[in-house]
Each structure stands twice: as C-alpha cells, then as structure tokens.
Chains A and B, each alone.
Chain A
Amino acid sequence: MKNKLLAGPYLLWMVVFTLIPLGIVVYYAFTDSMTGSFTLSNLAKIGIYLPIFFRSIGLAAIACMICLVIGYPVAYCIASVGETWRRFLSMLVMLPMCMSFLLRTLAWVALLEDTGILNHALSLLGIGPLPLVRNNGAVILGMVYNYLPYMITPLYTVILKIDPKLEEAAQDLGCSGAQVFRRVTLPLSIPGIVSGITMVFVPAVSTFYISQKLGGTGTVLIGDVIESQFKTAYNPNLGAALSLILMVMVLICVGVMNHFSSDDIGEEMMPL
C-alpha cells in the first residue's frame, strides 16, 4: 500500500500533463475546425503529407543509424577504460547537452553557411563556397549532433554491465576477438541499442527546429508542418491529427523493434 502511495505524485502528473493533453489532441483531431462537429477529414489529409512523413522517418532513421555507428564504439571505449577516465569521458559526452538546444543548432549554421566559418576558411585555400547547409545532409548532421548523447548513454550503461567473465568464457570456447564481439558482446548490448535508438529516433522524427535552421525548402519535416498548423496556418485540428498519426507511427516502430529484440534477449535484461 505504502509503495503505491509513493507513486501518487507521478500518477497525478501523468494525468494532468500527459493523459488530459492527449485527450485534447484526440478531440481536436476528430473535430472540424469550423463547426466543431465530429469528422475524419483531418485524418484523411494524411495523403497529402505522406511524403513529408516518409522524409521525416527516413532522415530520423538515417540519423539514428549514424548515431549508433558513431556511438557504439564511443560507448564501448567509455565502458572499458578505468574509473577516472570513464567519469571524464562520460562528462565530455554530456557536456554539449548543458548548452541550449537552440544555441547548438544556431552554432552549426554559423559554421556551415556560405559566409560561415568553414567556408571562409576554405575560401582562403581557394575552394568554395560549398553548399554545406540547407540540405538533407545538414539536417542529418544536426540530428546526429544533438541526439548522439542519447544514444551513447544507454549503450554505455548496458555495456558496462556486461560481465567481463562472459567474454572470457567465449574466448575459452574458441572465439577470437571479433567472434567474442559478434556472439556475446553485441547480443548482450541489444537492450542498450534498442533504448538508444528509441531515444534518438523519437525526438528526431518530430523535430522542427533543426530542419528550419539547417534544412532547405525541400527538407520540410512533419514537425515543421505540425508547428505551422498551430502557429501560422492556425489549423490546430489538422495539427492535432498529424501529431496523432505521427505518434501512432512512432509507437508502431518502437513496438516492432522491442518485439524483435526481446526474442533474442532475456526478459530480465529488458528493463535496463
């Protein structure tokens, strides 16, 4: 009983700031902006926005994979060095997060734009200016830069918990270094990979600021569209419908991923 009471404040918080707003979103999504009567026309507009949905998911997925490829070795290193180094390195990973998200993204603009620092440096060598910003690449770069710590942190936590004796046991049974990684270390990191991907993919797929600052006209993301429905176009009903669809898509993606990974790994590892 007591333990349940302790969860009370959190439950209250959830109801007031998550469930009720969610209810409002659902309500808006299914009502007409003029008459306020029930309608499916908002949701039906998904057809128009489908390419933007796919672009958002595509760019977020690419960013996710890059985060994983960069993040895994980093996390592995942090987990294998000694205590002091570990603390220093994980602080280094978290450090950019102490800065404002907006500031970080704007800094990249200053670095990459045609009159920016990089192009200026290149022009001294007689190169450029190169189109470094306002394209898909720059958006992906922005996502990777901003969300990389969210990939590294869960990975590092899980890798750190892998018993080094297991890697010894694999060696004992004939595995070379690469085989140890493939047969033991990697499968045991799956819970970290899953939560890392989730923590990068979810914010990346719904981001709008990064694409506005670093993307071009061709890189509008679904987050931008949703934002504009509330701010400029003023059609909150359509905005709500799009958010709802996005949410369902994200839930499906995460659900599928969790399903596949839990086949390979003991349930007791999952909460990590």
Chain B
Amino acid sequence: MAKELIRLQNVSMQFDGETVLDNISLTINDHEFLTLLGPSGCGKTTTLRIIGGFQTPTSGDVFFDGARINDVPPYRRKINTVFQKYALFPHLDVYDNIAFGLRVSKLPEPEVDRRVMEMLEIVSLRGFQNRKVTSLSGGQQQRVAIARALVNQPKVLLLDEPLGALDMRLRKDMQNELKRIQQALEITFIYVTHDQEEALAMSDTVVVMDKGCIQQIGSPVSIYNEPENAFVADFIGESNILDGIMRKDYEVEFFGHRYQCLDKGFAKNEPVDVVIRPEDIDIVPPGGGYLSATVTNVIFKGTFYDTFVDVGDFKWLIQTTDFHEIGDVIGISLDPDAIHVMKKSQYSEQFGDYSSYSAEYDEMEEDPEGEADEE
C-alpha cells in the first residue's frame, strides 16, 4: 500500500500579481517516481522550489509526512535538489562539491570519502575528483550535481531537468541509471522534464502541466492512452484531434461516419474531441465504406513513414511501415480501441490538424487560413 509522503493542497503562486501556479493539488507517495511534465514556463520549477522550500506559496499548504512544512526552511527539509543549471560551487573541486552536504552534517571524514568515491563510481566520474568543476563539460557538471544531491541519501530528491545537457546516448544511459538508483535506494524522485518520451519511460506517475494548472495526473500508459483533453493528447506523442459528436455510449460520429469506440458517459449528441494516434490507423484499399484520404506528403523516419493525408480539408498524420506515394488515394480503417473520446476543453480547436500545427512539421506548406482559425 502506497504511503503518502508529500502533499500540495490548493497551492497557488503569484509573482507581482501574475499567477504562475493556479490552485495545484498533488499527492506524492513514498518511493514514487513522479514526473512534472509541461512546456517551458508552465511552472514546473516553481512547483519544485515550493517543495524544496525556496519559495513560499502565496496560498495553500505543503505537507511532508503529514506535517505542514510551509515555514520550514530548506536546510531542515529531508529533501535534496539537482538544480536546473547545476549550481555547482566554483570554489570547490569535484570531490569537495560532492562531499559538501556530508561535511555540513559533520560525518567522519573516512565515511565521507567512502561515500563520495562510491558516488563518483555511480555517475561514471571516477578519476575526476580533483578537477575544477568549471573545467567540466555540461554533461559532466550535470552528473556532479546529481552525485552531490544523491550522496546525502535524502528521502526525496528533486531533479529539475537533470539530463538536459546530455547527448542522446548518455541521456538514455543516465535515465536507466537514475531509475536504477531510485529503485535501489528507495528514494522518492520528483522529476521535471519537458521531454515527454523521458517522462513516459521513467515515471510511475506523470503530472502534465500547462499555464500553471495540472492538466492530468496518471500513469504513463493512462496518460498516453486516455488523455483528458486536447492539450495532453497533443503534448504526449503525436495525435490527430478531430471534432466529433457522441451519438450514444460506445458510438461516436465524425466526418459523417459512425464508429464503435470504448468510451461512454457522455450526454447524447454531446460535441467531443476525438483523439486518434497516428500509429493506430490502419490503411486499407479505398472504397468499401471506409473514410477515404489523399496522400499529400511522406517523410521517412527510419522505422516508419510519416504519411500526411487529406480527409476533406482536414490533414491527418499516419505513421505506417508501408510506403504510399503522394497523390495516392487510400482508405482509413479505425478499430474501436484506436479511438479515444475526450470532453471539449479550452484547448479544443487549438490542436490536432496537421496543416496548422507543429514546428516539427514546418517543412510542410503552411495553411494561412488554418492559422487564423486558431485565434
């Protein structure tokens, strides 16, 4: 049974009258790997700073092990932080940086030495102990920052984009390493990233944030498969988001077709957002009652093709291992579990159509009318 460790209750944060966190409530369990995920400026760092004690919320309460800790200073919290910009001490070498916390808590020097050396091993920086931290690469500095926090064996570790400066390969290695450490030492991790892949791969729980609000809390699988609104669907992975109408339980209509789905509990004929993941779409020969589409662009992605198709005046993205030529007409088949229905939200209309969306696909010709529709 999971035990509650940290709880944020109706926490709001304002800077100069500007609301940065808007009434956030969040429970973090002991030994959990929880990730705050969201675009830049959504308040991830601010949330961490409130938990770490570097910022006092404008309103709301923070609990640790059941006790309210709003007024407990950072140095009295059993929490350590890996800062977004490392914040290593430039006047100390790698060894002394890592030993810093142990020495503050007056551990005997042999014990300090043992733990620092062990930590250097874990972050693969053996032999670097006497280097000046300013002479290290970004990735090495990041690993020193991780070691400096971990060596104290805190109950909770806050990590603010700890792998941001690493290249792909090292990033993957460190992800595995962090996950292993977290499980071995049974530390609660609160992890911040704006990389959705990283969040899905590492976390027990993902908290998706935008504009200072929590959009969804859930396991990686449920966040991916059952996004609660268009923002989450769009932010986590690729998705086609269409306007639909829920005709009745387990039946949704879009583009004039009715489809079986797995969702229920909507009002009859309620307008909804429908999410279809690009990899869930089956391509079939055209005709025979299937939705028909024209291929407008194909991009080779290594293991699959990003295939853009027009369905009416709506652009879809399909990920398929089969190659289709531009101009081909294809049929689109959708299984019930390929369709996910969401309530309309403030984010409806903002996402979904691949003609007006996404910097990743800006090699596609822009549709100025589509842009205007967003406003």
A positions within 8 Å CB-CB of B: 163, 165-166, 168-176, 179, 183-184, 187-188, 190, 264-266, 268-269
**A266 in contact with B104 given A172-B75, A173-B80 (CB within 8 Å):** no
12 contacts between A and B (CB under 8 A): A165-B83, A169-B89, A172-B54, A172-B80, A173-B80, A173-B104, A174-B152, A175-B75, A176-B75, A187-B91, A266-B90, A269-B91
Q: Which residues of B contact A175 (CB under 8 A)?
A: 75, 104
- B89 contacts A184, CB within 8 Å? yes
In the complex, A170→B101 CA distance in Å?
8
Contact with A along B63-94 (1 / 0, CB 8 A): 00000000001110001110101011111000
In the complex, A48→B100 CA distance in Å?
52
B130: Cβ under 8 A from any A Cβ: no
- A168 contacts B101, CB within 8 Å? no
Least Cβ–Cβ distance between A173 and chain B, in angstroms: 4
In the complex, A184→B96 CA distance in Å?
12
B155: Cβ under 8 A from any A Cβ: no
Q: Which residues of B contact A170 (CB under 8 A)?
A: 89, 100
- A266 contacts B134, CB within 8 Å? yes
- CB-based closest 5 A-B pairs: A173-B101, A165-B87, A169-B87, A174-B104, A171-B74
Contact with A along B37-70 (1 / 0, CB 8 A): 0000000000000001110000000000000000
- B75 contacts A168, CB within 8 Å? no
Among residues of B, the one whose C-beta sits closest to the C-beta of A168 is B54
Given contact pairs A165-B87, A169-B81, A268-B90, enumerate 17 new A-B contacts (beta carbons under 8 Å): A165-B85, A166-B87, A166-B90, A168-B83, A169-B83, A169-B89, A172-B52, A172-B54, A172-B75, A173-B80, A173-B100, A173-B101, A174-B75, A176-B73, A179-B75, A266-B90, A268-B134
Interface size on B, residues (CB 8 A): 25
- A166 contacts B75, CB within 8 Å? no
In the complex, A126→B317 CA distance in Å?
96
Q: Which residues of B contact A165 (CB under 8 A)?
A: 83, 85, 87
Q: Dominant SS at the B interface?
A: mixed
Q: Which residues of A contact B90 (CB under 8 A)?
A: 166, 188, 266, 268-269
Least Cβ–Cβ distance between A155 and chain B, in angstroms: 16
Least Cβ–Cβ distance between B142 and chain A, in angstroms: 14
Least Cβ–Cβ distance between A165 and chain B, in angstroms: 4
In the complex, A169→B148 CA distance in Å?
10
In the complex, A187→B100 CA distance in Å?
14
B344: Cβ under 8 A from any A Cβ: no
- B73 contacts A265, CB within 8 Å? no
Q: Which residues of A contact B101 (CB under 8 A)?
A: 173-174
Q: Which residues of A contact B88 (CB under 8 A)?
A: 169
Among residues of B, the one whose C-beta sits closest to the C-beta of A269 is B90
Q: Which residues of B contact A173 (CB under 8 A)?
A: 75, 80, 100-101, 104, 148-149, 152
Number of A-B contacts (CB under 8 A): 69
B346: Cβ under 8 A from any A Cβ: no
Q: Which residues of A contact B52 (CB under 8 A)?
A: 172
B105: Cβ under 8 A from any A Cβ: yes
Among residues of B, the one whose C-beta sits closest to the C-beta of A264 is B91
B positions within 8 Å CB-CB of A: 52-54, 73-75, 79-81, 83, 85, 87-91, 100-101, 104-105, 132, 134, 148-149, 152
Q: Which residues of B contact A172 (CB under 8 A)?
A: 52, 54, 74-75, 79-81, 83, 149
Least Cβ–Cβ distance between B188 and chain A, in angstroms: 16
Q: Which residues of B contact A269 (CB under 8 A)?
A: 90-91
In the complex, A163→B87 CA distance in Å?
8
- A168 contacts B87, CB within 8 Å? yes
In the complex, A142→B148 CA distance in Å?
48
Least Cβ–Cβ distance between A178 and chain B, in angstroms: 11
- B148 contacts A171, CB within 8 Å? no
Among residues of B, the one whose C-beta sits closest to the C-beta of A162 is B90
Q: Which residues of A contact B89 (CB under 8 A)?
A: 166, 169-170, 184
* CB-contact partner of A266 in B53, B100, B132, B148, under 8 A: B132
Among residues of A, the one whose C-beta sits closest to the C-beta of B92 is A187
In the complex, A125→B86 CA distance in Å?
61
Least Cβ–Cβ distance between A200 and chain B, in angstroms: 23
Q: Which residues of A contact B134 (CB under 8 A)?
A: 266, 268
Q: Which residues of A contact B80 (CB under 8 A)?
A: 172-173
**A171 in contact with B73 given A183-B100, A266-B132 (CB within 8 Å):** yes
Scoring B91, B148, B149 by chain A CB atoms within 10 A of each residue's CB, the highest score goes to: B91
Q: Which residues of B contact A163 (CB under 8 A)?
A: 87
Q: Which residues of B contact A179 (CB under 8 A)?
A: 75, 104
- B83 contacts A266, CB within 8 Å? no
Q: Which residues of B contact A166 (CB under 8 A)?
A: 87, 89-90
Least Cβ–Cβ distance between B55 and chain A, in angstroms: 10
In the complex, A88→B88 CA distance in Å?
32
Least Cβ–Cβ distance between A191 and chain B, in angstroms: 10
In the complex, A179→B73 CA distance in Å?
14
In the complex, A264→B75 CA distance in Å?
25
Among residues of A, the one whose C-beta sits closest to the C-beta of B105 is A174
Least Cβ–Cβ distance between A84 and chain B, in angstroms: 16
- B104 contacts A183, CB within 8 Å? yes
Least Cβ–Cβ distance between A197 and chain B, in angstroms: 18
In the complex, A163→B148 CA distance in Å?
18
Q: Which residues of A contact B105 (CB under 8 A)?
A: 174
Least Cβ–Cβ distance between B47 and chain A, in angstroms: 16
In the complex, A268→B91 CA distance in Å?
10
Scoring B73, B85, B90 by chain A CB atoms within 10 A of each residue's CB, the highest score goes to: B90
Q: Which residues of B contact A169 (CB under 8 A)?
A: 81, 83, 87-89
Least Cβ–Cβ distance between A32 and chain B, in angstroms: 52
Scoring A165, A168, A174 by chain B CB atoms within 10 A of each residue's CB, the highest score goes to: A174
In the complex, A103→B83 CA distance in Å?
52
In the complex, A266→B91 CA distance in Å?
6
Among residues of A, the one whose C-beta sits closest to the C-beta of B101 is A173
Least Cβ–Cβ distance between B141 and chain A, in angstroms: 13
